[in-house]
Amino acid sequence: MKSKLNVFKDIVDVIKISNKSDRSFFLLIILKSLVTASFPFVGIIYSALILDGFIDELDKTSIMSLVYQMIIIGAVLLISRTILNFFCEQKTNLISLKLNSEISRKTLNLDFEQLESQEIKDKISRANQGVLFSGGIGTFINLLGLSIENIISFIYSLTLIVALFISVDLNNPDTITKIFNSPLIGVGIVTLIIISMLMNFKIIKKINKLHFDIYEENIYVNRLFLYLRDSSMDYKISKDIRLFHIDTLLSDKIHETCYRFGKSYGNIAVKAGRMTSQGGVLNNIVLYTAYTVIGIKALLGLISVGNVLLLVSAVTAFNTAIVQIISNISAASTQTKYLALYKQYLDTSTNMYKGTLPIEKRDDGEYEFEFRNVTFHYPNNDDIILNNVSWKMETGKKLAIVGPNGAGKTTFIKLLCRLYDPTKGEILLNGIDIKKYNHKEYMDLISIVFQDFKLFSSTIKDNVKGGLVGIDDQIIQYLNLAGLNERIEKLPNGIDTYLYTNFGEQGVEVSGGEAQKIAIARALYKDSPLVILDEPTSALDPISEYEIYTKFDTLVKRKTAIYISHRMASCRFCDNIIVFNKGEIIQSGNHDELLSGNDGLYYNMWSAQAKYYNL
């Protein structure tokens, strides 16, 4: 009983989801179901009346009146059904788009830490597949609509079958006539149909469980297949695919995933086919039993020829309605399991405390950041990445962070940006733990160019302004400061030119260095008091690199700036340098101070690169 209540609750929850997307959709489905269910019974009832009219030799006017009534009512229902079908299909597509947009919206609002976890990646995959699997929520609502349609058909046909229970007053009827005129015959047929219904319900329930179990088993395989498919169509990696014959690797892996899918669903098809055939045999036994009884009643003169047609159609419709009701409700309840995955994802709560304390607005840019005894390891990994790090950043100064790969430099920045929270210790802004500040306001204090930054297939203007108001003159100013003035002037639409060719042939491709300059312009346009550049010139040629460094004072003005770089020449432009190794700060000072001792990690790194520069 509890399981059935849970199924009912799940169905109601999904209806609420659809109503949230479009409140009129479910009402339209009910109306369409009523019209669709009524349409065939118009033909059944009027055909029986017309046939009896001919046999009873009614006048031509009466018969044609019945014909005209059938045509008019049928035409009205047919036109109504066509119109309602059109609107329902359009709304189904819109609802599916809205649900997918909700997944995107939810993903954008999750913590960065959550997005890197395997659990959330699986949840996102399940949510996407849950919305789309077996037709998604549109199919679910249509299944409910079909169930309503079948319930109406059930009521119509049951009303007609009542004729089986009507006794006819015969003079001295014989034994056979008494038997087949007995209401018990009708009760027996209805009982057979109900038994058939219950057995079909069990069969359909088993088949749907098989499908869902296979779906659960193949969540990872499906995500892998989608990744491989998208990779094969991604033009940004098409050069590597062709030059390194990765096409063979992709083809083999796609074939392997398809084989795994085929094997899983092939096994289902065999089992489901066997169970479906058992239900089909039982249905046919019931139907032919009913047809036989109706035929005998007709031969005995207990029902008219028109009523024979009426009852055969009614019994067929009654049986079909019951089977379809069970099938559709069972399928809808199974569909709720898929859509429950979508709901589970939307109900995922964030872990990071967002804070409520407002950030003080300061025109002087006096925002002092401090790491105090910060230790950090990534979730589900006990390896210490930062170990008891303490450092106070001087406002308005330029800080360089250097060290070998894996020393903890980027993690230091991720913690400062509140993409993660420290495992131990605290990070302070003007003496207050940054966790206490309003998260959005805190993020507005920081502009950053990550080493693996991304530009989007939109206009250059959109890529620079992001979610801010776009002021063309300022956008052009920062692009010029980043060294892109000549490139922008040559473009037909200037800053309104689209990047890449995803959305039309007018889009332009940019080099790695040009993309990096756009990313730098984006960080500067945000006009935050703290600017962070992670490998800011890694894709630039030496001349462009020198121009960027010599413009740093102009670019960042009097802002606090942090540079992470493997190019030691960049450190000469900074007020202070900290050297990371194995998660700890092992040296600090300016460029000259760190070289004065002729030893230490910084000196060794500088000496290794100095021979490549004419200093």
Query: Do 446 and 532 form a contact (C-beta atoms < 8 A)?
Result: yes
In this predicted structure, the answer to whether residue 336 has a pLDDT above a threshold of 80 is no
Among residues of the chain, what percentage have pLDDT more than 70? 73
DSSP 360: P
Q: What is the 3-state secondary structure (H, E, C) of 487-551?
A: HHHHCCCHHHCEECCCCCCCCECCCHHHHHHHHHHHHHHCCCCEEEEECCCCCCCHHHHHHHHHC
Rounded Cα gap, residues 317 and 313, in angstroms: 6
360 or 433, higher pLDDT: 433
Rounded Cα gap, residues 121 and 383, in angstroms: 22
Q: Is residue 310 in a domain?
A: yes
What single letter denotes the amino acid at residue 72? Answer: I
Which residues contact residue 479 at a Cβ distance below 8 angstroms, ignoring those fewer than 6 apart? 460, 464, 485, 488, 495, 517, 518, 521
Question: How many other C-beta atoms are found inside a 10 Å radius of the C-beta of residue 496?
Answer: 12
194 & 151 share domain = yes
210 & 138 share domain = yes
341 & 379 share domain = no
pLDDT of residue 291: 73
pLDDT of residue 216: 63
Question: How many other C-beta atoms are found inside a 10 Å radius of the C-beta of residue 283?
Answer: 19
Which residues contact residue 308 at a Cβ distance below 8 angstroms, ignoring those fewer than 6 apart? 294, 295, 298
How far is the CA of 396 from the CAs of 433, 449, 530, in angstroms? 21, 18, 9
Average pLDDT, stretch 176-190? Answer: 62
In 3D, which of 447, 348, 405, 375 has the Cα closest to residue 115? 348
Across the chain, mean pLDDT equals 77
In this prediction, residue 452 has a pLDDT band, given cuts at 50, 70 and 90, of confident
328 & 408 share domain = no
Rg of the chain in Å (alpha carbons): 37
Query: Do 449 and 534 form a contact (C-beta atoms < 8 A)?
Result: yes
**Domain-terminating residue out of 346, 379, 402:** 346
Q: How many residues does the chain have?
A: 615
In this prediction, residue 172 has a pLDDT band, given cuts at 50, 70 and 90, of very low
Q: Is residue 461 in a domain?
A: no
Beta partners for 585? 580
23 & 138 share domain = yes
89 & 187 share domain = yes
The pTM of this model reads 0.66
Alpha helices in 233-363 (DSSP H): 238-243, 246-299, 305-346
Handedness of CA 592, 597, 603, 606 (dihedral sign): positive
In this predicted structure, the answer to whether residue 2 has a pLDDT above a threshold of 50 is no
Q: What does the block give as tokens for 562?
A: 């942090």
Supply φ then ψ for residue 191, to 5 degrees.
-65, -45
Query: Do 436 and 357 form a contact (C-beta atoms < 8 A)?
Result: yes
C-alpha 170 chain-centroid distance: 68
380 & 334 share domain = no
In this predicted structure, the answer to whether residue 208 has a pLDDT above a threshold of 70 is no
Beta partners for 357? 437
In this predicted structure, the answer to whether residue 1 has a pLDDT above a threshold of 50 is no
Q: Is residue 40 in a domain?
A: yes
Which residues contact residue 558 at a Cβ distance below 8 angstroms, ignoring those fewer than 6 apart? 365, 396
201 & 100 share domain = yes
99 & 38 share domain = yes
In 3D, which of 574, 583, 580, 575 has the Cα closest to residue 605? 580
- CATH code, domain carrying 443: 3.40.50.300
232 or 408, higher pLDDT: 408
Convert the pLDDT of each residue in 224-250 to its tens digit.
Answer: 777 777 777 666 666 666 656 676 777
**Domain-terminating residue out of 313, 346, 379:** 346
Rounded Cα gap, residues 401 and 96, in angstroms: 47
Convert the pLDDT of each residue in 569-594 to its tens digit.
Answer: 778 778 899 999 999 999 999 888 88
Query: Do 287 and 319 form a contact (C-beta atoms < 8 A)?
Result: yes
Q: Is residue 59 in a domain?
A: yes
Query: Do 352 and 396 form a contact (C-beta atoms < 8 A)?
Result: no
237 & 374 share domain = no
b/e code 351-383 from CB counts within 10 Å (16+ = b)? ebeebeeebeeeeeeebebbbeebebbbeeeee
Average pLDDT, stretch 190-209? Answer: 70
Rounded Cα gap, residues 399 and 573, in angstroms: 9
Coil, strand, or helix at residue 302?
coil
Rounded Cα gap, residues 205 and 142, in angstroms: 19
331 & 377 share domain = no
Convert the pLDDT of each residue in 246-262 to its tens digit.
Answer: 767 777 777 777 767 66
Instruction: Give the number of domains in the chain.
Output: 2
Q: What is the separation, in whole angstroms, between the first and last Cα of the chain?
A: 82
In this predicted structure, the answer to whether residue 57 has a pLDDT above a threshold of 60 is yes
292 or 197, higher pLDDT: 292
User: Residue 338 is part of which domain span?
Assistant: 2-346
Residue whose pair of structure tokens reads 């993660």 in the numeric block: 420
- In terms of Cβ atoms closer than 10 Å to its own Cβ (0-12, 13-18, 19+), residue 72 is exposed
> How do 530-534 and 560-564 pair as beta strands?
parallel
DSSP 468: S
Q: Is residue 528 in a domain?
A: no
In the sheet with 398-402, reading across from the earlier edge strand, the strands are 446-449, 530-534, 560-564, 398-402, 576-581, 584-589
Query: Do 579 and 594 form a contact (C-beta atoms < 8 A)?
Result: yes
Query: Do 420 and 487 form a contact (C-beta atoms < 8 A)?
Result: no
Highest mean pLDDT among 200-214, 324-338, 367-381: 367-381
Query: Do 540 and 567 form a contact (C-beta atoms < 8 A)?
Result: no
Q: Is residue 428 in a domain?
A: yes
Supply φ then ψ for residue 332, to 5 degrees.
-65, -40
Q: Of the given ranges (21-35, 283-297, 345-359), which has the lowest mean pLDDT?
A: 283-297
Q: Is residue 527 in a domain?
A: no
Q: Is 392 left (phi over 0), alpha (psi -120 to 50) or beta?
A: beta
pLDDT of residue 167: 46
Coil, strand, or helix at residue 58?
coil
C-alpha 99 chain-centroid distance: 7
274 & 226 share domain = yes
Q: Residue 509: CA atoms inside 13 Å, Cβ hemisphere, count?
A: 4
Query: Do 203 and 209 form a contact (C-beta atoms < 8 A)?
Result: no
Q: Is residue 58 in a domain?
A: yes
